[in-house]
């Protein structure tokens, strides 16, 4: 008894896709095994994934899915066999045996037609199978308290968030959307935070500044000024670091705006068009200073930034974001003429201002031009406030940084004036 009509063309396509995914996984294992001991590689893993696909196709054709259970048991037995052979040969680890089982699951997913899910698992599997030293470095650079904070965040994102009520509370704020924005910003910040911990100390102050701008540009600038400002010979490195931090902060704000409205619209295009000149100017100037100080940029420093998933930071950002959002809603509904004053919030949190304005624009509560102007002003203020955060570096460096920061914001200010009064 057949379950569904059989289409040989679709079946062949699934088998080919499954083969390619298994081949990628096997290629990584073959490369890994070339350095040590290899028991399964570019032939074994494609066979495992294709087997999973064929098992599902046959099970669907005969209308009996017992064959899938048998296949799963076989893949588990294969994983155990690989682990045993590795153990008997004195090769540590269970990675290859676990990947063998994951590859069979990839094959089943392809057979089900879940190509996107199978592709994600394939990418994750290959990444986890790469250099062990990378993940070891991550583990060594993350403290126990930061790990606990990450676990708490996962509970909030995967358990509490789905249970939140949908719809606006008192017609003012959508609790699910509110938590969603915080989750998105926190994930982006935490990924950069981990990368900064792992790569920053090795790559030097410029790498730290690049990643730190995605986490907290103000804290990164302050840390750079404290650590580099005491040495006059590192003046150019400090300037480059501040500019790089500001540049990544600008890009981060664009990403936050896109996630806030869950897409790209006219507001994103206008907003990005206004800040793009400053992004380009910052890149050019920072590259100039980096090339002038090639020896300095390798200096290893550790920028002290608290985990963005920490309870204190999460509550602080949540409150700032909530206050700015409520203020935006009230101003839009009752004091519309004072809407531009909200741009000052960029000094406190540019991300919070931009998220609020982006949503107001997308929902039609705020006209496009006003939303773009307020967001751009908040971003420019967030860019310029770094002048105050370099205070520990001393008067001379404050002047130097101030000059480059003002040069950086000048192009976007000109575009913003043209957009506000001429267009």
**Inter-residue contact 105 to 55 (CB < 8 Å):** no
CA-CA distance, 153 to 311, in Å (whole number)? Answer: 9
For residue 304, the Cα-to-chain-centroid distance in whole angstroms is: 20
Greatest mean pLDDT among 78-82, 172-176, 335-339 lies in: 78-82
Report DSSP state, residue 160: I
Does the pLDDT at position 163 exceed 90?
Answer: no
The least confident of 15-19, 207-211, 397-401 is: 207-211
Q: Decide: 110 and 17 in contact? Cβ < 8 Å.
A: yes
pLDDT at residue 280, rounded to an integer: 92
Mean pLDDT, the chain, rounded, equals 77
3-state secondary structure at position 163: helix
What distance in Å separates the CA atoms of residue 244 and residue 240, rounded to the nearest whole number?
6
Q: Give per-residue burial for 295-322: e unless 16+ CB within 10 Å, then b.
A: ebbebebebebebbbbeebbeebbebbe
Q: Is the pLDDT of residue 276 over 90?
A: yes
Q: For the residues 222-231, what does the mean pLDDT come to? A: 73
Is pLDDT of 202 > 50?
Answer: no
Cα separation, 228 vs 143, whole angstroms: 25
Distant-in-sequence, close-in-space partners of 263: CB < 8 Å, separation ≥ 6: none
Interval 239-267: pLDDT, tens: 888 888 888 889 888 888 888 777 778 88
**Is the model's pLDDT at 271 over the cut of 80?**
yes
Q: For the residues 408-420, what does the mean pLDDT come to?
A: 92
The pLDDT of residue 415: 94
Question: Which tens digits make up the pLDDT trace of 52-75?
Answer: 899 898 888 887 778 888 888 888
Q: Is the pLDDT of residue 366 over 60?
A: yes
Across residues 416-422, what is the average pLDDT?
A: 90
Question: What is the structure's pLDDT at 3?
Answer: 47
Place of tokens 């696909």: 53
Q: What pLDDT, on the 0 to 100 scale, is given for residue 257?
A: 85
Which tokens hold the place of 97?
């045996």
Residue by residue, DSSP assigns 99-142 as HHHHHHHHHHHHHHT-HHHHHHHHHHHHHHHS-HHHHHHHHHHS
Helix (H, G, I), strand (E, B), or coil: what is residue 93?
coil
Using a pLDDT cut of 90, give the percent of the chain over it.
8
What integer pLDDT is reported at residue 241 of this predicted model? 82
Provide, rounded to the nearest whole percent, the portion of the chain with pLDDT above 70: 73
**How far is the CA of 77 from the CAs of 23, 99, 120, in angstroms?**
21, 13, 25
| The pLDDT value given to residue 346 | 79
Q: Is 164 helix (H, G, I), strand (E, B) or coil?
A: coil
With tokens 């494609």, the residue in question is 46
pLDDT for the residue numbered 133: 55
Q: What is the mean pLDDT of residues 14-38?
A: 75
Q: What is the pLDDT of residues 298-325, one digit of tens each?
A: 455 556 666 666 656 666 667 777 777 7
Q: 39: pLDDT confidence band, cut at 50, 70 and 90?
A: low
Distance CA 22, CA 43 (A): 9
Say what angle helices 395-421 and 235-261 make with each other, to 10 degrees. 30
Domain boundaries, the chain: 8-130, 137-421
- Tell me which residue has tokens 């000052």: 344
């Amino acid at each position: 008894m057949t379950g569904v009509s059989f289409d040989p063309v679709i079946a062949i396509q699934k088998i080919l896709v499954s083969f390619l995914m298994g081949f990628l996984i096997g290629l990584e294992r073959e490369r890994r095994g070339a350095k040590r001991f290899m028991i399964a590689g570019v032939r074994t893993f494609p066979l495992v994934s294709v087997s999973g696909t064929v098992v599902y196709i046959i099970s669907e054709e005969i209308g009996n899915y017992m064959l899938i259970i048998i296949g799963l048991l076989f893949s588990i037995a294969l994983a155990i066999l690989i682990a045993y052979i590795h153990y008997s040969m004195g090769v540590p680890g269970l990675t290859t045996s676990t990947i063998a089982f994951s590859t069979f699951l990839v094959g089943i997913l392809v057979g089900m037609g879940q190509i996107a899910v199978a592709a994600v698992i394939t990418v994750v599997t290959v990444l986890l199978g790469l250099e062990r030293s990378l993940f070891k470095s991550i583990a060594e650079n993350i403290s126990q308290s930061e790990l606990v904070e990450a676990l708490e965040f996962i509970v909030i994102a995967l358990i509490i968030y789905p249970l939140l009520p949908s719809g606006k509370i008192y017609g003012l704020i959508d609790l699910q959307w509110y938590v969603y924005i915080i989750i998105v910003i926190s994930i982006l910040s935490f990924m950069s935070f981990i990368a900064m911990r792992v790569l920053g100390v090795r790559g030097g102050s410029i790498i730290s500044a690049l990643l730190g701008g995605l986490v907290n540009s103000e804290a990164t600038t302050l840390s750079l000024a404290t650590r580099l400002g005491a040495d006059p010979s590192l003046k150019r490195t400090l300037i480059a670091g501040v500019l790089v931090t500001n540049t990544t902060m600008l890009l981060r704000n664009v990403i936050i705006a896109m996630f806030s409205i869950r897409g790209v619209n006219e507001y994103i295009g206008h907003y990005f068009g206004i800040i793009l000149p400053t992004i380009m100017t910052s890149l050019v100037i920072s590259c100039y200073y980096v090339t002038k100080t090639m020896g300095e940029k390798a200096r290893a420093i550790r920028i002290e930034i608290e985990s963005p998933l920490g309870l204190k930071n999460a509550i602080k950002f949540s409150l700032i974001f909530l206050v700015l959002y409520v203020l935006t809603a009230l101003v839009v509904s009752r004091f519309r003429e004072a809407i531009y004053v909200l741009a000052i919030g960029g000094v406190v949190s540019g991300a919070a201002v931009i998220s609020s304005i982006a949503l107001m624009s997308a929902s039609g509560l705020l006209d496009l031009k006003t939303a773009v102007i307020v967001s751009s002003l908040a971003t420019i203020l967030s860019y310029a406030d770094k002048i105050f955060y370099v205070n520990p570096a001393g008067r001379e460096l404050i002047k130097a940084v101030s000059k480059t920061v003002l040069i950086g914001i000048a192009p976007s200010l000109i575009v913003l004036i043209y957009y506000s009064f001429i267009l």
